[in-house]
Amino acid sequence: MRPEILFPLFKDVTSLKGVGARTAELISKVAGPHIIDLLWHLPTDIIDRRYRPKIAEARPDTIATITLRITKHYPPFNKRSPYKVVGMDDTGAMNLVFFRARSDYLNKVLPENETRIVSGKVERFGDTLQMTHPDHIGTEDEIDTMSKVEPVYPLTAGLSLKVLGKAMSAALEIPKPLPEWQDGPLMKREKWPAWHEALHAVHAPESEAELSPVTPARRRLAYDELLSNQLALALVRAHMKRSKGLSLVGDGTLRKKVLAALPFELTNAQKLAIDEVDADLAAEHRMLRLLQGDVGSGKTVVALMAMLSAVEAGGQAVLMAPTEILARQHHATLTQMAEPAGLQPLLLTGRERGKNRDGLLEKLETGAARLAVGTHALFQDDVAYKDLRVAVIDEQHRFGVHQRLTLASKGRAVDVLVMTATPIPRTLMLTAYGDMDVSRLMEKPAGRQPVTTALISNERLDEVVAAVKRATGSGARVYWVCPLIEESETSDMAAAEARYDHLKSIFGERVGLVHGRLKGAEKDAVMTAFKDGAIDILVATTVIEVGVDVPEATVMVIEHAVRFGLAQLHQLRGRIGRGSGKSTCLLLHAGHIGETAKARLTTMRETDDGFVIAEKDLELRGAGELLGTRQSGLPEFRLADITEHADLLPIARDDAELILRNDPELESERGQALRQLLYLFERDAAIRYLRSG
């Protein structure tokens, strides 16, 4: 239950004075429905109203706050002419100009023969000075509030700064000081104000400099958010670790057979990762490990070893992939690798239906199937396992924190290994996974060929086609990738189809097309044709992004490359350079591209290091965009900026760990305050893991 002291902050913005349903809806759009959401909506600019000149001194095109005596009203003489109000001081006169104004209103706020304050932009109109629609009009005693620095907030159509500013002022009256949850010495070192003070400070910037994300007040609020995130993740993790696991130790017989039959030696990185996984499996707690390795680094063998341990110990293991193509690819690979051990992995995807599916489910339930590969179909409600011990989840470049946490319910104490090809920067990893155990495959198996990457303007498409012709002429196979045009799968497909027709008119029957809408069997047929060399050009949407393994493919053309994330481009490019031939990747772009787009593509040309690419992407695009936050399951931050506040993340991580070590149930005085912090950032779910939550 949310503590009472926070109730007012979670009221709807409609409870604020002057905020009706219509305004509330607009505020909801830019900030959110609750008062706290509004308070988290920070200014991005300022209007400095401190310039208070006499009329004769006022600089045109400047924001000024001017005290004047209203001398005369001149209502418009026709519909299109403006309403003018003349005001004077001892240095001169100026016009206040209003279009489509109501005279009763103007007479009320600017009565003749009285002194008033106006604030707005001063303009020169012929010989006279004027101010069109002053931003503010007030009486003399309001001069102090009117001649301040005014914060400017992101707005939306229909919501004026005036209306939002009023709502904000009302909202700022609501919060009371809260007991401090931050560590005293840290606050002192960073010169951070208390929460309440910080909140007021960020909404009252006195200068452009104070809009910076690194002012003490902004950093403090950012840190509040990061700490709440890390604390929540740490609580979930502590809960998972506490929930009983089973010690799993295989006898090594199956592994030995599989390893003996491999055509290669394991790399040291693979051996180390397997040792780390084994230690987790043997321990009493559940494994929750991330296996991170660039495309082609050899994660599959590591995963298979973990799966074999489960089978050796009499249990079952599954591998789940994010797409059907990838599931099939994994299934083919594992079937081949596990064959020497006499094991035949079962395949379960959305394509298996009816009787066939019933038969597969029965094998899982009776334990007749020891290994299974599939999509999320493996974890549907009606799928039961005899004794599921190890689950490997291949996320490729997707995050699926939630999926992972619910999955554990399928077995008594499933050990979970998550494989990811995204070279997630450390900062992002902390926010998405917390301090999860990680094994990294930094070293690639020998024999990988570097890929030459070139940037080419769309206008030179003919040259690209000619190059493809030369390449296929000497036996190369080519991926031709068409990007997402819009959010819709249909237009995506249309672009791919158009390119397919175009290339077919040049290359004839040697061209194939694969996209997300094809039926499974059709997809397989095209992929097989490409693999076997029956076709040498494969036009594709991003369905080929992951997993596909055709060593003969040495050329990749990517159209509108700027529309892809760098991580995605890296994944795509990882499809070539797998065999012995020299590989080339051509990134096509529009004739004119922006600086950032250019910088991104240049990064692709200059490095093949997934970590460098991911860091660069983060720097150039920001975390939110990096992986498409919404789908990615990455937490979205309101106050923290992963790039600007990157240094605070490890501090928050250590802080969270220390807090829970000393006070696992958050019962101390600071612990109680930290609970409020968790509620403040709506990490209510994590609080449920506390005994007295």
Which residues form the interface with ligand ADP (CB under 6 A)?
Answer: 264-267, 270, 293, 295-301, 421, 445
Minimum distance from residue 330 beta carbon to ligand ADP (Å): 8
Beta-bridged to residue 96, according to DSSP, are 85, 131
Give rounded-to-5 percent helix, strand, coil for the chain. 45, 20, 35
Minimum distance from residue 337 beta carbon to ligand ADP (Å): 8
Q: How far apart are CA 575 and CA 540, in angstroms?
A: 13
Query: Token digits for 61?
Result: 């095109």
Element (H, E) at 347: strand 346-348
Minimum distance from residue 373 beta carbon to ligand ADP (Å): 13
C-beta of 367 vs 445, nearer to ligand ADP = 445
Minimum distance from residue 635 beta carbon to ligand ADP (Å): 26
Element (H, E) at 37: helix 35-39
Helix or strand or coil: residue 665?
coil
C-beta of 147 vs 267, nearer to ligand ADP = 267
C-beta of 228 vs 270, nearer to ligand ADP = 270
Beta-bridged to residue 130, according to DSSP, are 95, 123
Which amino acid is located at 559 in the chain? E
Helix or strand or coil: residue 99?
coil
C-beta of 549 vs 636, nearer to ligand ADP = 549
Minimum distance from residue 262 beta carbon to ligand ADP (Å): 8
C-beta of 182 vs 422, nearer to ligand ADP = 422
Do the Cβ atoms of 205 and 46 come closer than 8 Å?
Answer: yes
Burial 301-326 (b: 16+ CB within 10 A, else e): bbbbbbbbbbbbbebbbbbbbbbbbb
Minimum distance from residue 392 beta carbon to ligand ADP (Å): 11
HEC readout, 471-539: HHHCCCEEEEECCCCCCCHHHHHHHHHHHHHHHHHHHHHHEEEECCCCCHHHHHHHHHHHHHCCCCEEE
C-beta of 193 vs 293, nearer to ligand ADP = 293
C-beta of 8 vs 296, nearer to ligand ADP = 296
C-beta of 298 vs 434, nearer to ligand ADP = 298
Minimum distance from residue 633 beta carbon to ligand ADP (Å): 21
Minimum distance from residue 577 beta carbon to ligand ADP (Å): 11
Long-range contacts formed by 198-207: CB under 8 A, 24+ apart: 199/39, 199/172, 199/175, 200/172, 202/42, 202/43, 203/39, 203/42, 203/43, 203/151, 203/168, 203/172, 204/149, 204/151, 205/43, 205/46, 205/149, 205/151, 206/149, 207/46, 207/149
Residue 501 has φ and ψ, to the nearest 5°, of -60, -45
C-beta of 105 vs 264, nearer to ligand ADP = 264
Do the Cβ atoms of 379 and 407 come closer than 8 Å?
Answer: yes
C-beta of 65 vs 270, nearer to ligand ADP = 270
Minimum distance from residue 559 beta carbon to ligand ADP (Å): 24
Minimum distance from residue 342 beta carbon to ligand ADP (Å): 20
C-beta of 250 vs 577, nearer to ligand ADP = 577
End-to-end Cα spacing for the chain? 8
Element (H, E) at 171: helix 161-172
Do the Cβ atoms of 320 and 378 come closer than 8 Å?
Answer: yes
C-beta of 30 vs 442, nearer to ligand ADP = 442
Minimum distance from residue 263 beta carbon to ligand ADP (Å): 8
C-beta of 82 vs 298, nearer to ligand ADP = 298
C-beta of 251 vs 265, nearer to ligand ADP = 265
Instruction: Name the DSSP letter for residue 683.
Output: -
Query: Token digits for 366?
Result: 């009776």
Do the Cβ atoms of 346 and 373 come closer than 8 Å?
Answer: yes
Q: Which residues contact 31 (CB under 8 A, 6 or more apart)?
A: 37, 38, 40, 41
Minimum distance from residue 448 beta carbon to ligand ADP (Å): 8
Minimum distance from residue 548 beta carbon to ligand ADP (Å): 10
Element (H, E) at 292: strand 288-293
Q: Residue 541's closest CA among 555, 527, 558? A: 558
Minimum distance from residue 326 beta carbon to ligand ADP (Å): 10
Task: Report the relative pairing of strands 115-125 and 136-139 from DSSP bridges.
Answer: antiparallel
Helix or strand or coil: residue 395?
strand
C-beta of 570 vs 616, nearer to ligand ADP = 570
Q: Residue 327's closest CA among 524, 145, 529? A: 524
Q: How far apart are CA 561 and CA 571, in angstroms?
A: 13
Helix or strand or coil: residue 608?
coil
C-beta of 265 vs 684, nearer to ligand ADP = 265
C-beta of 326 vs 428, nearer to ligand ADP = 326
Minimum distance from residue 176 beta carbon to ligand ADP (Å): 53
Do the Cβ atoms of 76 and 98 come closer than 8 Å?
Answer: no
Minimum distance from residue 421 beta carbon to ligand ADP (Å): 6
Element (H, E) at 97: strand 92-98
Q: Can you state the angle between helices 648-662 and 216-242, rounded to 10 degrees?
A: 50
Query: Token digits for 621?
Result: 């695009």
Minimum distance from residue 441 beta carbon to ligand ADP (Å): 7
Q: How far apart are CA 555 and CA 294, in angstroms?
A: 20
